[in-house]
Amino acid sequence: MTAEYATAKEWYKANRPTLKKYRGEWIAYTNQGVISHDRDYRKMKDGIPADTPKLSYVLDRIFESEFVDTICFSGFRCCK
């Protein structure tokens, strides 16, 4: 069972690290989670269930540069 949040913004803040898998895509999410995603904005919009109220979801773009992995080289101290 997944937790339900009062607002979509609260869900986003709590689940931001899990959005890494959507890099380079548009997402639509509610207070319960991601309801649609695709690299193409129109396909993502078309994937939103028709019975979802328009004011209950948020559209956002997850840029590929948002989640940059730390690279550590041997012999150098990495900051984590």
Stated as kind and residue range, the H or E segment containing 37 is strand 33-38
- The structure's pTM equals 0.78
**2-11, 12-21, 48-57 — which is least confidently predicted?**
2-11
Domain residue ranges in the chain: 8-66
pLDDT of residue 80: 56
| Closest of 59, 57, 35, 34 to residue 47, by C-alpha | 35
Q: What is the pLDDT of residues 26-80, one digit of tens each?
A: 999 999 999 999 999 999 999 999 999 999 999 999 998 877 766 777 776 666 5
